[in-house]
Structure 1
Amino acid sequence: MRLHRNLCFSVIDGLTLIFNEGNYADKVIQQLLKRDKRWGARDRAFVAETTYDIVRWKRLYAEIAEVKEPFDRDNLWRMFAVWATLKGIKLPDWTYFENTPTRKIKGRFDELSKIRKFKESIPDWLDELGEKELGKDIWTKEMAALNEQADVILRVNTLKTTKEKLQAELFDLDIETDYLPDYPNALKLKERSNVFTTEAFQNGFFEVQDASSQLVAEFLNVKPGMRVVDTCAGAGGKTLHIASLMENKGQIIAMDIYANKLHELKRRAKRNGAHNIEPRAIESTKVIKKLYDKADRVLIDAPCSGLGVLRRNPDAKWKLQPEFIDKIKVTQQEILQQYSRMVKVGGQLVYATCSVLPSENQQQVDKFLTSEAGKNFTFVKDNKVLAHKSGFDGFYMALLERKN
């Protein structure tokens, strides 16, 4: 591979914004990709994947390059040189790469790869927490899996098409996909591709949604004609899936504390042809109280640490703080206590997170079931999805039923 100066400069600019100014990696990369209209698919892929790679391995590369935060541009070029050397890419004779100690880099990599917190490039506190909650063996395997690049998975919108028809339509565009056993509406891209520019996407035939995330709506046991409440709907990935499972029959009330996310959901619902979704912003507890004892199904896709989705959000490792995890666990329990009251007698509730930590998952469910609000519920089943076993994001979901 030959390195091109303008592409490498874009990567360095992006890393400056992510590491030194705290910007979100996905937003930064979106901006970088708009820089030069002459860039082809390969150029754009280089900028996105290289930036994500260096973000993912920040601690390891910084340690090898012997640089410390905040990183100035020279520091970032040193980290870039580490990335290129470890990828086997020949460094051009640019000023930034003068005196790069190639042999030393490889030696330091071998040495640091024996220590998990460097090998998997994670903060000390997070490494300790993961091992404490999951045990050394599982945490080691899980972190390795969470550092792999995520596959692109599509969820077929069955309101508009079938898996077979969509696969054929994409094949005609030279986008090849595979079926995934045990994921009824999923197609996996064989190679990464910008599927958002396709007519099939613009017509609402599919959404991009990880395979693990697709399990949540299925877990909710919805049927056409029900009244379903998605309490932390956000921009509606799972809401749209629920709408397709309900065949547009019945009512889905999509709630969130952020009205702007619900605006995005409205736009997506229109494209998907999902007509049974009613967005409601949670501006006060009245919105929730009005629905007490009214819902056949309630989904609580709770705010969480997001540790299960590090493959697609590698910068989260550096933004997360132990205090945030402590606070979010309090919020999770408050939401469970309050939102569970919307489930009617005989109805069901799913509590889900995209975390792999038991303290955010089964321990929250156990705590709820022993509380005053939870005494009316019985535990039906749960699903602990670990990335190293599934090959997809880490997720948790528990199904509870309100007793007669």
Structure 2
Amino acid sequence: MRLHRNLCFATVDGLLQIFNEGTYADKVVQQLLKRDKRWGSRDRAFVAETTYDIVRWKRLYAEIAEVKEPFSRDDVWRLIAVWATLKGIKLPDWKYFENTPTRKIKGRFDEFSKIRKIKESVPDWMDELVAKELGENLWSKEVAALNLQADVVLRVNTLKTTKEKLQAELFDLDIETEEVKNHPDALRLKERTNVFTTDAFKKGFFEVQDGSSQKVAEFLDVQPGMKVVDTCAGAGGKTLHLAALMENKGQIVAMDIYENKLKELKRRAKRAGAHNIEMRVIDSTKPIKKLYDKADRVLIDAPCSGLGVLRRNPDAKWKLQPEFIDKIKETQAQILSSYSRMVKPGGKIVYATCSILPSENQDQVKHFLTSEAGKDFTFVKEKKILSHESGFDGFYMALLEKKK
């Protein structure tokens, strides 16, 4: 691989924004990809993947390069020099790479590979916290998996097409996919490509949704004709899956505290041909109280640390703070206590997070079941998904049933 000056300049600009200004990596990459109309798909892939790579390995590369935040432009060029050297890419004869100590870089890499928190590039507090909760051995395996690039997984929209038809349509566009074991509606891309420009996407034949995330709607055990509430619906990835599983029959109430996310869900639902979804903004306790004892099924895809999805959000490692995790655990307990009241007797609830921390997952469920709010519920089953075992995001889900 050869390095091209304009692509490296774009990457440097993007990294300065992410590291020094705290802008979200996905937003920065989106802007960068529009920077030059002459760029082909390979150029755009280089900018996106290199930016994410250096964000992912920021701590390791910074330690090797001996640079500290806030980074200067020269510091970021040093990070790129480390990245290229470790990838085996020959450094061009540019002033930015003058006097790059290639041998020293490799030596320092070997040295730091013995220290997990530097080797896997995570903050000290995160390494300590997760090792304490998961155990040293399990965390070592998991953090290595969370540093791998996530596959692109599609969820076939069964309201509009079948897996076989979609696979054939994408094959005609030279997009090869494979089925995913134990994921009935999933297709995995064999090679990364931009699927959002395809007619199949525009017609609503699929959504991009990780394999673990696809398990949540299935876990809720919905049937056509039910009344289902998705309490933290966001832009509605799981809501749309529920609509497909319910064959557009019955009613889904999609709720969120952010109105703009529900607007995005409305747009996605129209594309997907999902007609049984009603949006409600949680702007007070009223919308919740109106649904007390009304729902056959309730999904609480709770706000969480997001420690299970670091593969696709590597900048979260640097934005997340331990105080936020303490705060979010309080929020989770409150949400579970309040939203569970929407389930009618005999109904079921799924509590889910994209975290791998037991304190956000099974501990929350245990605490709820021993509380006043949870005394009418029984534990049915749970599913813990770790990246190093599944190849997908880290997730947790628990199914509870309300006594009749």
**Does the TM-score normalized on the shorter chain lie above 0.5?**
yes
C-alpha displacement of 1:132: 0.1
Indicate the residue corresponding to 2:394 in structure 1. Answer: 394
Given residue 362 of structure 1, which amino acid in structure 2 is its aligned partner?
Q
Amino acid at match of 2:256: D
Asked whether 1:193 is paired with 2:230, we answer no
Paired residues for 1:194-273 under 5 Å: 194-273=194-273
Residue 12 of structure 1: how far off its partner (Å): 0.2
Pair 1:46-2:46 in alignment: yes
1:284 is matched with which residue? 284
Distance 2:359 2:130 in 1: 11
CA distance in 1, matches of 2:130, 2:289: 37
Q: Kindly state the Cα deviation for residue 220 of structure 1 after the two structures are TM-superposed.
A: 0.3
Q: Is 2:135 the counterpart of 1:135?
A: yes
Aligned to 2:105: 105
Deviations 1:87-118 (A, max 9, x none): 00000011100000000000000000010001
Tell me, in whole angstroms, the C-alpha distance in 2 between the residues paired with 1:58 and 1:294. Answer: 49
Q: Corresponding residue for 2:17?
A: 17
| Cα shift readout 1:190-242 (whole Å, capped 9, x = no counterpart) | 00000000000000000000000000000000000000000000000000000
- Distance in 2, matches of 1:279 and 1:299, equals 15
Aligned to 1:122: 122
Please give the alpha-carbon distance, in whole angstroms, between the structure 1 residues aligned to 2:330 and 2:235: 23
CA distance in 1, matches of 2:76, 2:36: 22
Q: Equivalents in 2 of 1:38, 1:167: separation in Å?
A: 31
Shift >2 Å, 4+ stretches? none
In the aligned structure 2, how far is the partner of 1:102 from the partner of 1:39? 30
C-alpha distance in structure 1 between counterparts of 2:279 and 2:358, whole Å: 31
Task: Please tell me the residue identity of whatever aligns with 2:76.
Answer: L
Aligned twin of 1:364:
364
Query: Using the alignment, how far apart are the partners of 1:282 and 1:123 within structure 2?
Result: 35
Deviation at 1:343?
Answer: 0.2
Structure 2 residue aligned with 1:172? 172
Identical residues among aligned pairs (%): 82
- Give the Cα–Cα distance (whole angstroms) in 2 for the partners of residues 32 and 216 of structure 1: 33
> Could you tell me how far apart the structure 2 residues matched to 1:330 and 1:191 are?
41
2:150 aligned partner? 150
- Once residues 22 and 367 of structure 1 are traced to their aligned partners in structure 2, the CA distance between those partners, rounded to angstroms, is 35
> What's the CA shift string for 1:28-77, capped at 9, x where partnerless?
00000000111001000000000000000000000000000000000000
Once the 2 structures are TM-superposed, how far is the Cα of residue 143 of structure 1 from its aligned partner? Answer: 0.1
Helix, strand or coil for the counterpart of 2:360? coil
Aligned partner letter, 1:36 = D
What amino acid is aligned across from residue 89 of structure 2 in structure 1?
Answer: I
> Which ranges of structure 1 fall in alignment gaps of 5 or more residues?
none
Deviation of 1:336 (Å):
0.2
Q: What's the counterpart of residue 57 of structure 2?
A: 57
With normalisation by structure 1, the TM-score equals: 1.00
Q: Does 2:299 match 1:318?
A: no
**1:288-346 residue CA offsets vs partner (Å, 9 max, x unmatched):** 00000000000000000000000000000000000000000000000000000000000
Deviation per CA, 1:350-391: give whole Å up to 9, x if none. Answer: 000000000000000000000000000000000000000001
TM-score where L is the length of structure 2 = 1.00
